[in-house]
Amino acid sequence: MKRRAGILIITGLLIISGLLVLPGCGKDKVVLQIYNWGEFIDPGLLEKFEKETGIKVELDLYETNEHMLAKLEAGGTQYDVVFPSDYVIEEMIKKDMLYKIDFNNIPNFKYVSDRFKNLNYDPTNEYSVPYFWGTLGILYNTEMVDEEVDSWDILWNEKYAGKILMLDSMRDTIGVALKKLGYSLNTTDTEKLEQAKQLLIQQRPLVNGYYVDEIKDMMINGDAAIAVDWSGSAMDIYWEGIDYIKYVVPKEGSNLWFDCMVIPKTSQHKKEAEMFINFMLDPENAYQNSLYVGYASPVTEAFERIMQENPEVAEMDAYNPSEEVLDKCEVFIDLGDSRSLFSRIWTEIKVQ
């Protein structure tokens, strides 16, 4: 997937942070400030957008939803487009942090499959446009794991001590423990969350570490046998031609997630932000972006084109999960006041 490195990348011109316009031949040029997950967009598309529109793009990166949200809430930013996940969109709407999108400026929204519209986190589809979607599951090295992998239980198998990678992501990792226990990953029941915390503390001696960016490379290099990761990482590994790493959504169920494009109220260029969103939904651009990033696109033509050109991926849960798999998955919801409870539990796990 998604989700890597937290460095600042600047495309186009060198830009002083916070500068919104640049002088050019007597005419001011808009600088669109994009805040996205690492390696979650094809840089070639940013160049194409700049060439087609004359709008410069500044791209800043984050590793987790929580980091992104904290930065926006701290103020001092002027991001025009950000890419939060479902439950964070719900929270941002409640906090009045997002502009409503003028869909008259986004005609390419017609290419988005209906299955990705009017979902619970934005039920009237006023604030968000779907970007990528996928699941959370287990990556495993078939040269190091000689048993069937179909359950979260394997993450607690002492046989793989020191060879297990967990995600440095509060909702995902606590969610794994909750699903292993048979609970909803959205529960706010303190007793159930305490059980999940104890389960993850019990697991700590077996865990190599908590990572985000490093997981894919560590798996490829054989530094770990098993990892919790997002489906896009599995597809990324597949597109690289590596056949000894597989991906599975455990039988207990997992997270089904949607990452979207939204316009925060920090934006100084809403119209240009909508131009950018419309550009990313163009079927050709969505196809190119999906191939580069590895995740499944909500743009029907892009999604189907990849399966037509690579029929084998239609059978892969990492790209095209079956209805049986999806039926076992849940979408994260905003925790509301219980977010602090999750944060406390996460801190107590990490300090062990």
CA distance 98 to 219: 37
Q: What is the pLDDT of residue 27?
A: 53
Instruction: Set out the domains of the chain in order of their start, with CATH numbers.
Output: 29-131+257-320 (3.40.190.10), 133-254+328-349 (3.40.190.10)
- pLDDT digit string (tens) for 194-229? 999 999 999 999 999 999 879 999 999 999 999 999
- 50 annotated among ligand-binding-site residues: no
- 304 annotated among ligand-binding-site residues: no
Q: What is the pLDDT of residue 18?
A: 40
Q: What is the pLDDT of residue 271?
A: 97
Q: In whole angstroms, how far apart are CA 279 and each of 46, 80, 111, 311?
A: 10, 15, 12, 27
Judge contact between 58 and 269, C-beta under 8 A. Answer: no
Low-confidence ranges of the chain (pLDDT < 70): 1-28
Beta-sheet pairing, 56-62 with 9-10: antiparallel
If one counts every other C-beta atom within 10 angstroms of the C-beta of residue 9, the result is 15
Classify 211 as helix, strand or coil.
strand
Q: In whole angstroms, how far apart are CA 196 and each of 143, 177, 330?
A: 30, 5, 17
Q: In whole angstroms, how far apart are CA 125 and each of 90, 91, 103?
A: 11, 15, 10
- pLDDT digit string (tens) for 54-67? 999 999 999 889 88
CA distance 265 to 231: 31
Judge contact between 102 and 274, C-beta under 8 A. Answer: yes
Q: What is the pLDDT of residue 173?
A: 97
Q: In whole angstroms, how far apart are CA 146 and each of 19, 163, 225, 242, 334?
A: 55, 14, 10, 18, 38
Torsion-angle region of 26 (φ positive above 0: left; ψ -120 to 50: alpha; else: beta):
left
Q: What is the pLDDT of residue 352?
A: 81
